[in-house]
Amino acid sequence: MSQHKPEQLAGLARLREDFDQSFAQAPERTRHAIKGFLAIRVGADPYALPLDEISGLSADRHIVPLPTPVTALRGLAGFRGQIVPVYDLGCLLGHAPAAHLRWLVLINKEQPVALAFATFEAYLRVDQHMMVDPGETAPETAEHHPQTIGAVRGDGLRPILHIPALIETIRRLSQRITPPPATPQLRSVKP
């Protein structure tokens, strides 16, 4: 039998520990940041909504129309005891107003707003390597839009909607809405 020196035994113990640790760690591909998105369509165009910037998703809510010169403002809807304005997401992105908007997504926790769109396709869990930075999107594969920030790879490139840019667009539109002038109250005069 051969005798092992103490430094050899320590080296073997280290190798055994490293080997055991390799099974305790997650595989490299699952250690990347995973982000959730809603895959939606506005008209024929695919988009991704970041799940961490959404506080609710609902289908077939009643929208009370409002008389307004702002085409994108579809009306008001109730969400969890709050009345929120509903904007046509397609109009905010430069599309014509949609005839039917089935889905509403609630954004902007400080001053809630609902974005309305017609088609919800799927929930996406996307690994970081499947995301494309805004500077990397080639003009022939994905058009850069001021309300998008990067894209998600999958069934083609799906631009990621930039919620803060959409909120800014809504803020600018709401400045165009002016309340009607107040009508003077007539008081009855007693003789």
Domain boundaries, the chain: 35-176
- pLDDT, one tens digit per residue, over 49-98 is 999 999 989 999 999 999 988 999 999 999 888 999 999 999 999 989 88
Q: Map the chain to HEC letters.
A: CCCCCHHHHHHHHHHHHHHHHHHHCCCHHHCCCEEEEEEEEECCEEEEEEHHHCCEEEECCCCECCCCCCCCEEEEEEECCEEEEEEEHHHHCCCCCCCCCCEEEEECCCCCEEEEECEEEEEEEEEHHHEECHHHCCCCCCCCCCCEEEEEEECEEEEEECHHHHHHHHHHHHHHCCCCCCCCCCCCCCC
Considering the four listed CATH numbers 3.40.50.300, 2.40.50.180, 3.40.190.10, 2.60.120.260, the one that applies to the domain covering 35-176 is 2.40.50.180
More confident residue, 6 or 26: 6
- pLDDT, one tens digit per residue, over 106-124 is 998 888 999 999 999 989 8
Q: Does residue 32 surpass a pLDDT of 70?
A: no
The pLDDT, as a whole number, for residue 125 is 87
The pLDDT, as a whole number, for residue 149 is 80
